[in-house]
Amino acid sequence: MLLLTCPACGVAADETELAPGGEAHLTRVGPDGDDASFEGYLFQRANPRGVHFERWRHVYGCGKWFHAARDTATLEVFGTYSAQTTAPPDDILDKIKARRPGWEGNA
């Protein structure tokens, strides 16, 4: 039962107030995309044991989407941040690197 702080309203929301939205920072592939890149966009998902960036929606609260950076094994939450971004912000990345010295990103 996760507890995630919604950055839009500041509420520490119970998992039952949230809806999960899967992996974050996917780039949409539109009509111009070739088959391989479109397949990657639609179906290929990272499933790391460790640091992961996810989308959540505060559906029973302010209704806003946000991003969460957390460890899928320990469930440590490194931070939550705005949905209106294409990459994790530096302060979150710094925190992850401090907590997980060997981590070099999920790419």
Residues lying near other proteins in the complex (CB under 8 A): 1-3, 8-12, 14, 16-17, 19, 21, 28-31, 33, 35, 38, 42, 55, 57, 59-65, 71, 74-77, 83-84, 99
Residue 11 is which amino acid?
V
CA distance 52 to 71: 6
Q: How far is the CB of 79 from other proteins (least distance, A)?
A: 10
Q: How far is the CB of 47 from other proteins (least distance, A)?
A: 19
Cβ proximity of 23 and 53 under 8 Å: yes
CA distance 58 to 84: 15
Q: How far is the CB of 36 from other proteins (least distance, A)?
A: 12
Cβ proximity of 59 and 19 under 8 Å: yes
CB nearer other proteins, residue 46 or residue 59: 59
